Amino acid sequence: MKGYYDLHEHLENLEKKGLLIRVTREINKDTQLHPLVRWQYRGGLSDAERKAFLFENVVDSKGKKYSISVAVAALAGNREIYAAGLQCSLEEVREKWERAMAGPIKPILVENAPVMEEVHMGAELLAEGGGFDEFPVPISTPGFDNAPYTTCTHWITKDPDTGIPNIGNYRGHIKGRNKIGVFPCGLGQDILVHWQKCKDRGIPLQAALVVGAPPVVSYAAVQKVPYGLDEISIAGGLVGAPIRMAKCKTVDLEVPADAEIVFEGIIRTDVMEPEGPFGESHGYMHPRQLNPFMEISCVTHKKKPIWVSFISQVTPSESSVIKKIGYEPLFTEYLQKTLSIKSVIKVSMHEPLTNLRKVIVIQMRNPKEVDVWRALNASAIFHQGVGKIIIAVDEDIDPENMDAVMWAMSYRMKPHKDVDIVKGLVKGHAPPFSGASDSQDVAVHADPANESALLINAVLKEPFPPVSLPKKEFMEEAKKIWEELGLPKITPEAPWYGYSLGQWDSELEEEAELALKGDHYLTGEKLAKRQVKV
């Protein structure tokens, strides 16, 4: 028993749960496939209404028909799909991540790996129909992308000094049947550290590109973990079982034995090439720049593999969901446990359009002012490029609801007292791209420390009047009547009932109770005795 789903088992499970849409009509991978799935993120659908898609009749713009299906939004089309990939409920996801980080489980080596049922190498990779020709790689942003790009592709490399492997998810620019560019998302990524070490030694970097890994491996691959920590062991920790690995055919690396497809090869360290432009998760076309590229030496895959593609670019997207669900528990744990700020309840990374990185909301329970500012300042430096606008709110404010956050900012903070700016930060993966034009090739370089973060303390500093909505019991009773009447389905949105925020005494409470009984005249008589001449 593996202890975890491979991709086929995961898709079967999604179908049983009503979370998978099979598309059997002909779909052009170059012009139709991604735009179709994109509508569930730009068409007003809620997270719960989004589905995974499996395209079973794929063609390209030249009329070529593919025997391989394409899965999109199958790993994190919505939160429920993500939880299904972990084989748990949504409520258990945070606990699984905490357990995995605390107790990674090392992988095991197996023989006869399913991903190696077919092996292609040598001249076969350069022949028509060979190499990348075999696979229906979609164009993600038709009309702007200059090629099909791999998106849900996990690059495995290892540190030449320590031998510790790393698996990270980066886009790949398909340039030939046996050639693909890699965009490592800027300095600091493990793959770039490995590449630089090999460059210093005058040797290429061995690499394996994995498509269709078991979902749990994909979840670990996109997570931000400390350098030198093996993501495959984290994946094992997530499911409580070792991940099955297999030795590659032409490079000294190991890959998930239950993946769909693997490309083996070397990443050149003596030269780089222009790569991109490509639509990125910050919501803009990322400019062309000089990046490394990989020369393919071997392709292995299952007899009937499925190609997997992420919906990325403008958020929300599958890419942002898969990161948000994993990032937020780690961010929260960092503040709660590493920094011991016990009043922190939750960290929420705003997703629509902003791509998680820029707007951070910290929900806190009865915090001391010093802890509010500790949490705000720590969040500004948690990770490069994360946290441009950081807001602390009370427990009663839903950090996922920006209307509620703006409500707290409007009444619970005073800009001259409750706002601070931290300078000397780096913008990270985001525009503007200085020195880049439509066709200019830009080398990888470190961003200058010319960015800043806006810190906002929007928690209560003194008692406030109650929230002016009916108390909870009356709203609950009214909801039952609403449903009895067959009115449109409602989803309670906080605040949906009134509650006290401290500025409310026993006399006012008594008057409200009299009103409920129809005895409000008694209050009128009492107030008449307090008449004041004017």
257 phi/psi in degrees, rounded to 5: -65, -25
pLDDT reported for residue 406:
97
Amino acid at 144: F
Does residue 436 have a pLDDT over 60?
A: no
Query: What is the Cα gyration radius of the chain?
Result: 27
Kindly indicate the confidence band of residue 371, based on its pLDDT and cuts at 50, 70 and 90: very high
What is the reported pLDDT for 281?
Answer: 75
- The pLDDT of 460-465, averaged and rounded, is 95
- pLDDT tier at 188, thresholds 50, 70, 90: low
Q: What tens digit of pLDDT does each residue of 160-182 get?
A: 999 999 999 999 999 999 999 99
pLDDT of residue 446: 56
- Domain boundaries in the chain? 7-309, 339-457, 472-528
Q: How would you class 430 by CB atoms within 10 Å of its CB: exposed for 0-12, middle for 13-18, buried for 19 or more?
A: buried
Q: In this prediction, what percent of the chain has a pLDDT beyond 90?
A: 78
Beta bridge partners of 205: 267
Both tokens of 404, joined, read 């509620």
How does residue 190 score in pLDDT terms, banded at 50, 70 and 90? confident
Q: What is the CATH architecture of 7-309?
A: Roll (2.30)
244-247 vs 108-109, strand pairing mode: parallel
pLDDT exceeds 60 at position 267: yes
State the pLDDT confidence band at 439, using cuts at 50, 70 and 90: very low
Asked if residues 501 and 465 have their Cβ atoms less than 8 Å apart, the reply is yes
Render pLDDT for 250-260 as a digit per residue (tens, 0 to 9). Answer: 999 999 999 99
What is the enclosing helix (H) or strand (E) of 54? strand 52-55
Q: 417 and 400 in contact (C-beta within 8 Å)?
A: no
In angstroms, what CA-CA distances link 193 with 30, 189, 200, 244?
34, 7, 11, 26
Percent over 70 (pLDDT), the chain: 96
Q: Mean pLDDT over residues 310-333, rounded?
A: 85
- Which whole number is the average pLDDT over 17-42? 95
Task: Give the DSSP H or E segment for 380.
Answer: helix 369-380
Predicted TM-score (pTM) of this structure: 0.86
The three-point CA angle 84-330-453 to 5° equals: 125
With 60 as the cut, is the pLDDT of residue 214 above it? yes
Average pLDDT over residues 390-404: 96
Per-residue pLDDT tens over the stretch 50-85: 999 999 999 999 999 999 999 999 999 999 999 999
165-169, long-range: CB < 8 A, 24+ apart? 165/230, 165/232, 165/253, 165/254, 166/190, 166/191, 166/194, 166/230, 166/231, 167/210, 167/217, 167/220, 167/221, 167/231, 167/232, 168/221, 168/222, 168/231, 169/218, 169/221, 169/222
Residue bearing tokens 């025997």: 67
Q: What span, in angstroms and rounded, lies between the C-alpha atoms of 314 and 43?
A: 13
Report the pLDDT value the prediction gives residue 384, as an integer from 0 to 100: 77
Q: How far apart are the first and last CA of the chain?
A: 85
pLDDT confidence tier of residue 443, bands split at 50, 70 and 90: very low
pLDDT at 427: 74
Alpha-carbon span 324 to 361, nearest angstrom: 13
Q: Which of 3.20.20.100, 3.30.70.270, 3.40.50.300, 3.40.1670.10 would CATH assign to domain 339-457?
A: 3.40.1670.10
Q: What is the pLDDT of residues 268-318, one digit of tens each?
A: 999 999 998 888 777 788 888 899 999 999 999 999 999 999 888 888 788
Cα 491 to Cα 133, 479, 482, 494, 495: the distances in Å are: 47, 10, 12, 10, 12
Give yes or no for a contact between 59 and 26, defined as CB atoms under 8 angstroms apart: yes
Rounded CA gap, 5 and 206, in Å? 28
Residue 326 above 60 pLDDT? yes
pLDDT value, residue 280: 76
Mean pLDDT of the chain: 92
pLDDT at 31 over 50: yes
Best CA proximity match to 501, nearest among 466, 468, 469: 466
Tokens found for residue 273: 């090439």
Question: Rounded CA gap, 443 and 272, in Å?
Answer: 9
